[in-house]
Structure 1
Amino acid sequence: MKKVIFFAALFTSVFISFQAFAQDKSKRPSPPATVTATTHNGVTIQIDYSQPAVKGRTIGKDIAPYGEVWRTGANEATVFQVNKDVTIDGKSLKAGKYSLYSIPGANEWTIILNKSWNQWGTVYNKKDDVMRFQAKPLQHAFTERMTFTISPSGEVGLLWGNIQIGFMVK
């Protein structure tokens, strides 16, 4: 009986310690970040994501491989949220939360908005895609940690390594 109590207490303390560590997301190698902006048109755009670092790796080869669906961040799925119905690349998007995935490429990235937003980032199901559109990568000053930006005009930018990917939310 003493062994059962001992192992139950040990299991409980390990579980509580693990939960406390797991909940401090700032200690992760790819820390969480949020960017929020309200456009001139009154659309509030929010992106919750984790910031992977380049760490000397090559984007498209060692990290975010070209031609493969990528979670566009790290850890949990990147969440893209708008408070009003919008258009992106001429396509309609209802107000709400979406996971943001991408298919990186040397000359073009496919940006994917998926209805399953509350999940771990590597859980992707194409049948849940709401929208796909193309974005051209541009050369940009080096950014070690992946960073999203949102301008008052509604331009969303993804900066990482030497590239910038952008799209307009109207």
Structure 2
Amino acid sequence: MLLTPKENLMRKVFFLVPAVLLAFTIAAAAQGSRPSPAASASCDLGGGKTIKTDYSSPRMKGRKIYGDLVPYGKVWRTGANEATAFVTSADVKVGDKDVPAGSYTLFTIPNADKWTLIINKKTGEWGIPYKYEGDELARVDMKVSKLPSAVENFTISYEKSGSGCTLNIDWDNTRASVDISAK
């Protein structure tokens, strides 16, 4: 059977459109699978006061983390990709430092026995290199403890504690933590 030019064109369009849609679907799915996916943690401080942390969660993948991939004594972006965001809807106390309600970026300085949490006023930045000392709101000491087993996925979590929350940073066999309370 011989097709007219119009029928031939319709046949090509009929097969081409689904092929293009499939290609776009595959491309979109590939972009969605980041090696360090986005994650979030939050805590309700009561009375409508909340804190929330948005970060990217890298994986251990058999690597030595602290003292190697994440060097001791140097500012670390505390996650991967974009800098870790910390948003508080109310004035809070982080460790012994006052933090007004607002949006901030978190960095840390890991060491084997003590960590320092850096709360920075500069937001919307990529995680490295760190060049924002002039925008720091506070540096806070964090407690360090060993976890009973290694944590594959870098994790930030909040644990309800008294009238506040404890911010926990877990990866490999290390936990760094600091208490946060509403003012």
The TM-score by the shorter chain falls in which range? 0.7 to 0.9
Large movers: runs of 4+ above 4 Å = none
Question: Is the Cα–Cα contact under 8 Å of residues 96 and 140 in structure 2 kept in the other structure?
Answer: no
Q: Equivalents in 2 of 1:86, 1:61: separation in Å?
A: 31
Which ranges of structure 1 fall in alignment gaps of 5 or more residues?
A: 1-16
Task: Say what the alpha-carbon RMSD is for the aligned residues.
Answer: 2.0
Identity among equivalent positions (%) equals: 39
SS of the aligned residue for 2:160 comes to coil
Please name the residue that 2:170 is paired with. 159
Q: Does 1:136 align with 2:150?
A: no
Shift of residue 166 of structure 1?
0.7
Separation in structure 1 between the aligned mates of residue 74 and residue 96 of structure 2, nearest angstrom: 24
Of residues 88, 98, 114 in structure 2, which corresponds to 1:82?
88
Equivalence for 2:124: 118
Cα distance in structure 2, aligned partners of 1:139 and 1:152: 20
What is residue 92 of structure 1 aligned with on the other side?
Answer: 98
Give the TM-score taking structure 1 as reference length: 0.82
- Alignment-derived partner of residue 145 in structure 1: 153
SS in 2 for 1:137: strand
Aligned match of 1:3:
none
1:72-128 C-alpha deviation (Å, 9 max, x unpaired): 000000001111001112211001111100111001011101011211111421111
Q: Residue 103 in 1 paired to residue 109 in 2?
A: yes
Once residues 112 and 35 of structure 1 are traced to their aligned partners in structure 2, the CA distance between those partners, rounded to angstroms, is 18
- Deviation (angstroms), 1:39: 2.3
Q: Unpaired runs of 5+ in structure 2?
A: 1-23
- Corresponding residue number in structure 2 for 1:168: 179
Q: Return the offset for 1:41.
A: 6.0
Structure-1 residue corresponding to 2:4: none
Q: Which residue does 2:39 correspond to in 1?
A: 33
TM-score, normalising length: structure 2: 0.76
Deviation at 1:27, TM superposition (A): 1.2
**Distance change (3 Å), C-alpha of 1:45 and 1:55:** same
Tell me the distance in 1 between the aligned counterparts of 2:168 and 2:180.
11
Structure whose alpha-carbon radius of gyration is higher: 2
Greater strand content:
2
SS at match of 1:127: helix
CA distance, structure 2, for counterparts of residue 63 and residue 97 of structure 1: 28
Separation in 2, partners of 1:123, 1:36:
26
